[in-house]
C-alpha cells in the first residue's frame, strides 16, 4: 500500500464549477497535510496546509481533513482556467522528522 | 530577494559522467531536501539534511551523493552509478524540521537529460 494515494485523473471541470481532489494516506499517526499546485514544467507551490480535523478555507480553496478515515481533500470553488495544473498531496508522518510523502498528483483541467 | 535557487535550469549529460546540481537558499532554513520527479509521477525523496554536516538517505539514494558543508548550500551529485538519471530534480528547504507546521518550499528545479 502506498503511503499517499490520490484519485486518478485527469479531472476536467467547466469554469465556475467546484473541483474536488482527494487523497488518502496509510499512516494513522500522520500529523501534517499539504496541497501543492504544480504547473507544467514548473516546481510545486504550496497552496494549503492543514493539521487538525475539519475544514480550512483560504479564498476559493478549502482543505478538509478526516483523520479517522485517513482522508484529506481539496475543494476549489469557482474554478478558473488558471487553476489548470497538477495538484500534489503531501503528508508528514508522526514518526519521521521533516520529510514529506507525496502522492502522484491529480491533473486538473478547467475548460472555459 | 529571498528564496531557493537551483542551477543550471537544464543540464545534459553523457552516459558515464558525474554531474553536480546546485541548490542554494538564503531563507536561513535548517533543513534541505532533494527530490526527483519523473513524468506522471509524484516526488520521490533522494536525500535530506536537517543540519550542517549531516544528511540522511531518502527512498532512492542509490547513485546519488550529497554534501552539506554550509547551511545555505546542499549540492547533489548524480553519479554514473545512477542508471536512469533523466528526470526533473527539485530542491526544497524548510525552517524547522520536526515541527508539524514545518513547510517545505521548492526551488525552480533542474531538468537533467542523459544523452
Q: Tens digits of per-residue pLDDT, B4-53?
A: 999 999 999 888 899 999 999 999 999 999 999 998 788 999 999 999 99
B104/A100 CB distance under 8 A: yes
By Cβ distance, the residue of B43, B97, B103 closest to A46 is B103
Residue A16 has pLDDT above 70, yes or no: yes
**pLDDT given at position B99:** 75
**pLDDT given at position B18:** 93
Residue A103: CB partners within 8 Å, gap ≥ 6? A2, A4, A5, A6, A23, A88, A89, A90, B42
**pLDDT given at position B15:** 87
By Cβ distance, the residue of A45, A88, A98 closest to B94 is A98
Contacts of A43 in chain B (CB under 8 A): 90, 106-109
With CA atoms as reference, report the closest residue to B89 among B71, B114, B55, B72: B114
| Contacts of range A43-48, beta carbons closer than 8 Å, 24 or more positions apart | A43/B90, A43/B106, A43/B107, A43/B108, A43/B109, A44/A88, A44/B43, A44/B90, A44/B106, A45/B106, A46/B103, A46/B104, A46/B105, A47/A74, A48/A74
Asked if B27 and B2 count as a contact pair (C-beta separation under 8 A), the reply is yes
Asked if B33 and B48 count as a contact pair (C-beta separation under 8 A), the reply is yes
The tens digit of pLDDT for each residue in A68-106 reads: 999 999 999 999 999 999 999 999 987 666 789 999 999
Residue B56: CB partners within 8 Å, gap ≥ 6? B47, B48, B49, B50
Nearest-CA distance B4 → chain A (Å): 11
**pLDDT given at position A54:** 95
Mean pLDDT score, B87-106: 88
Chain B 54-93, residues with CB within 8 Å of chain A CB atoms: 58, 90
Residue B114 has pLDDT above 70, yes or no: yes
Mean pLDDT score, A27-33: 91
**pLDDT given at position B1:** 57
Residue A41 has pLDDT above 70, yes or no: yes
By Cβ distance, the residue of B41, B103, B107 closest to A43 is B107
φ, ψ dihedrals at B10, nearest 5° = -125, 140
Mean pLDDT score, B64-82: 95
Instruction: Tell me which residue has cell 494516506.
Output: A25
CA gap A91, A24 in Å, rounded? 9
Beta strand residue intervals within chain B, DSSP E: 4-7, 10-13, 19-25, 31-37, 43-51, 54-57, 64-66, 76-78, 87-94, 105-106, 110-114
Amino acid at each position: 500500500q502506498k503511503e499517499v494515494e490520490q484519485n486518478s485523473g485527469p479531472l476536467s471541470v467547466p469554469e465556475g464549477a467546484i473541483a474536488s481532489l482527494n487523497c488518502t494516506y496509510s499512516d494513522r499517526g500522520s500529523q501534517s497535510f499539504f496541497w501543492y499546485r504544480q504547473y507544467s514544467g514548473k516546481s510545486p507551490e504550496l497552496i494549503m496546509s492543514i493539521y487538525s480535523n475539519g475544514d480550512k478555507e483560504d479564498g476559493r480553496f478549502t482543505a478538509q481533513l478526516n483523520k479517522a478515515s485517513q482522508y484529506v481533500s481539496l475543494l476549489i470553488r469557482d474554478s478558473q482556467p488558471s487553476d489548470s495544473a497538477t495538484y500534489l498531496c503531501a503528508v508528514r508522518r508522526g514518526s519521521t522528522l521533516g520529510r514529506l510523502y507525496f502522492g502522484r498528483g491529480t491533473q486538473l483541467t478547467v475548460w472555459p | 530577494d529571498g528564496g531557493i535557487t537551483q542551477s543550471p535550469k537544464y543540464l545534459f549529460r553523457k552516459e558515464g559522467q558525474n554531474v553536480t546540481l546546485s541548490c542554494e537558499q538564503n531563507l536561513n532554513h535548517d533543513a534541505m531536501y532533494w527530490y526527483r520527479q519523473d513524468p506522471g509521477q509524484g516526488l520521490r525523496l533522494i536525500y535530506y539534511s536537517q543540519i550542517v554536516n549531516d544528511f540522511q538517505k531518502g527512498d532512492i539514494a542509490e547513485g546519488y551523493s550529497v554534501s552539506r558543508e554550509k547551511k545555505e548550500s546542499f549540492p547533489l551529485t548524480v553519479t554514473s552509478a545512477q542508471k536512469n538519471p533523466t528526470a526533473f530534480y527539485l530542491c526544497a528547504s524548510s525552517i524547522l524540521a520536526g515541527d508539524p507546521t514545518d513547510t517545505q518550499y521548492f526551488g525552480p528545479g533542474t531538468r537533467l537529460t542523459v544523452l
